[in-house]
Structure 1
Amino acid sequence: MTQPDATPEASGEAAHFRALESLYAAAPINQLFHSRLEIPAPGVARIHFEIDDRHYHAAGAAHGTSYFKMLDDAAFYAANSLVTDRFLLTTAFNLLLTKPLKAGPVIAEGRWVSGQRRVFVAEARLIDVTGEEAARGTGTFMRSRIPLAGLPGYRSASPEA
């Protein structure tokens, strides 16, 4: 799989990645999760987060909402790292939950799969503290009419910085 050709210059690219990380941190939903987004490269996103008993269902493991939220976010930001002007929207997401998550650190790893214009496909997986995969998902994301630059939290550093 090859990355799209239409990526910003390296310094502008890094500024876009940091602005997306800032946007993630500013989203009100993320006040409910101890998590941090990192975008190390085009089409790649990682969310480091903690599961604790506040995320548990009645049987003492993480509820599926935690799986979905982190898989969707990791795939979304992997795709949106390739789009510098518009906010993407999730249009579909498929999950496969393979292992219960207990309290501890988890990493959601997202990767762009295909799409370069209007629709993007990205996948993500959850890796637990033992290094095992606990879930995976694939999402479809579409360009919206919402400019990234107009969103609270999307703070792009100048390319010279």
Structure 2
Amino acid sequence: MPPEGDPALAAGAASHWRALEGLYASAAINELFASRLEIERQGEARITFEVTGKVYHAAGAAHGTIYFKMLDDAAFYAANTLVSDRFLLTTGFNLHFTKPVREGLVTAEGRWVSGKRRVLVAESRLVDAEGEEIGRGTGTFMRSRIPLSGLPGYGPAR
């Protein structure tokens, strides 16, 4: 849900969220890791993706690369919902693997925790198709000097 109160403010927030979804969709890395970002409310982001054998390590389960990428992205975009002028940079990220996953639909749920000025903190978790948590993480994100409006993908999702 957009922020309550002023309808123009709510429309601006929703427009920013759609533009963030467009930015995510435009990232070249997502050609390797097919996924979809959805933002429905300030401070939250959800990414869905399918785990297949293409991301397995030698023991036949999803490599930690996919865990980190999706946890970082979900937390990052949850935090960037609060910042409409600048691209954020990940300055630190801690993650915990709680269960291996071999295949199926996985959801990364991101949630802003604190900070609004220079440094923001957000957390995320991965949930498998059965609803069980398979990983979680916490990240710190800093405002960069890169204007969002100058990034080619920052616009309506494609």
TM-score category by the smaller chain? over 0.9
Alignment partner, residue 69 of structure 2: 69
Unaligned runs of 5+ in 1: none
Give the partner amino acid of 1:65. T
What does 1:5-154 align with in structure 2 at a 5 Å threshold? 9-154=9-154
CA deviation string 1:101-143 (max 9, x = no partner): 1111000000000001000000000000110000000000000
Amino acid at match of 2:86: R
TM-score normalised over the length of structure 1: 0.91
Offset of 1:33 from its aligned partner?
Answer: 1.3
Whole-angstrom distance in 2 between the partners of 1:134 and 1:141: 23
**Deviations 1:77-114 (CA, angstroms, capped at 9, x unpaired):** 00001000000000000000010011110000000000
In the TM superposition, residue 156 of structure 1 has moved relative to its aligned partner by 5.7
Task: Work out the percentage of aligned pairs sharing the same amino acid.
Answer: 71
The 3-state SS of whatever aligns with 1:9 is helix
**Alignment check: 8 A CA contact 2:21 2:156 kept:** no
CA RMSD of aligned residues (A): 1.4
Q: Which consecutive residues of structure 2, in runs of 5 or more, have no partner in the other structure?
A: none
TM, length-normalised to structure 2? 0.93
TM superposition shift of 1:155? 1.2
**Equivalences, count:** 151
Q: Distance in 2 between matches of 1:156 and 1:32?
A: 21
What is the CA-CA distance between 1:146 and the residue it aligns to?
A: 0.1
Once superposed, which parts of structure 1, at least 4 consecutive aligned residues long, lie more than 2 Å away? Answer: none
Distance in 1, Cα, partners of 2:30 & 2:91: 21
Amino acid at match of 1:108: A
Other structure's SS at 1:79 match: helix
